[in-house]
Amino acid sequence: QFHMIKHEDLTWGESLGQGSFTHIFRGHKTDQRDEVTHTTEVLLKVLDANHKNCWESFFEAASLMSQISHKHLLLVYGISVHKSKNIMVQEFVKHGALDLYLKKSMSVSVSWKLDVAKQLACALNFLEEKNIAHGNICAKNLLLAREGDPSSDNSPFIKLSDPGTSMTLLGKDVVLDRIPWVAPEVLDTLEIELECDKWSFGTTLWEIFNNGEAPLQGLDLIQKQQFYEHFSNLPALEWTELADLIAQCMQYQPELRPSCRSIIRQVNSLITSGNTQVFAICLVQD
Ligand SMILES: Nc1cnc(-c2cc(N)nc3[nH]ccc23)cn1
């Protein structure tokens, strides 16, 4: 269920770092269509040779993304297997991971952040309609295709990346380190359900409105585990309606978390109320 890409059709560029058991590189793929040769910029995600045992989960995550297509889901072109290297070939998304982008550019507006939140909610709604759980929603897995000019407020465009190697294979410590993105029930079941993505959506909203700062980053694995054992919540944001939406998503009882339709409605009303406040301020100033 995958397009196989010949190794000789790939050219390798600079290393862009590492993921869980993967190394990522810039690169290009060439494909002959009719007599014309097309060259496309790609991201090459290579699974560590010493983690061969998770290659089927590595490809399963990618095949999930390649079976469905949506404007806010990352495009996976296919896989290339060469000697002992398993390579996933993805579309290259120009501005990279959202968490790093937010840390760098502290000047994005509230409406810019709400626009990103709405796009993520739409992607999750699409997955929910297909009854597909992603399992790794976080700002690091949101890729920025278009910056949108923060000053002139033209809009950003994000793509949700593949979930990566499934946590069930990653081991307990990796799952613990994903607190508070991973839903609490996953620690017991190691099963990813639709409700888990709603919890992670809440955590990701918190990241976006805290300029990419990772929640609970100073805590070690024991303290992170205790955060859930004590049914703790993230520090509430000043904007009450936003804090309420995050709290709804991050309820310890999965069945109480809102549907994606409800999440989209609430983000839309935040956008409206946000604009109204800005409009009112302009009125007062004039
Ligand atoms: N599917 C993807 C995933 N990551 C990128 C990316 C873009 C960039 N400008 N810097 C980076 N640094 C690390 C990754 C990355 C692109 N496309």
Q: How far is the CA of 35 from the centre of ligand 1 (A)?
A: 31
Among protein residues, the one with the nearest Cα to ligand 1's atom 13 is 16
Question: Does 16 contact ligand 1 (Cβ within 6 A)?
Answer: yes
Taking Cα atoms as reference points, which of 233, 238, 200 lies closest to residue 216? Answer: 233
Does the Cβ of 224 fall within 6 Å of ligand 1?
no
Q: 160, 74 in Cβ contact below 8 A?
A: yes
The rounded Å distance from CA 227 to ligand 1 centre is: 32
Atom 15 in ligand 1: which residue has the minimum CA distance? 96
Q: How much distance in Å is there from the Cα of 99 to the middle of ligand 1?
A: 12
Q: Give CA–CA dist 142/73, Å, rounded.
A: 9
pLDDT digits (tens, 9 = 90+) for 243-272: 999 999 999 999 999 999 999 999 999 999
- What is the distance in A from the centroid of ligand 1 to the CA of 148? 17
- Judge whether 22 and 85 are in contact, CB under 8 Å: no
Tens of pLDDT, residue by residue over 53-71, are: 777 887 887 787 778 899 9
Q: What is the pLDDT of residues 102-137, one digit of tens each?
A: 999 878 999 999 999 999 999 999 999 999 999 999
- Closest approach atom of ligand 1 to CA 90: 1
Does the interface ipTM go beyond 0.90?
yes
Any residues with CB less than 8 A from the CB of 78 and at least 6 apart, and which?
A: 2, 3, 4, 5, 66, 89
Report pLDDT for 152: 65
- 72 close to 160: Cβ distance less than 8 angstroms: yes
Question: pLDDT-based confidence at 153, cuts 50/70/90?
Answer: low
Nearest residue by C-alpha to atom 12 in ligand 1: 16
Residue 281's pLDDT is 81
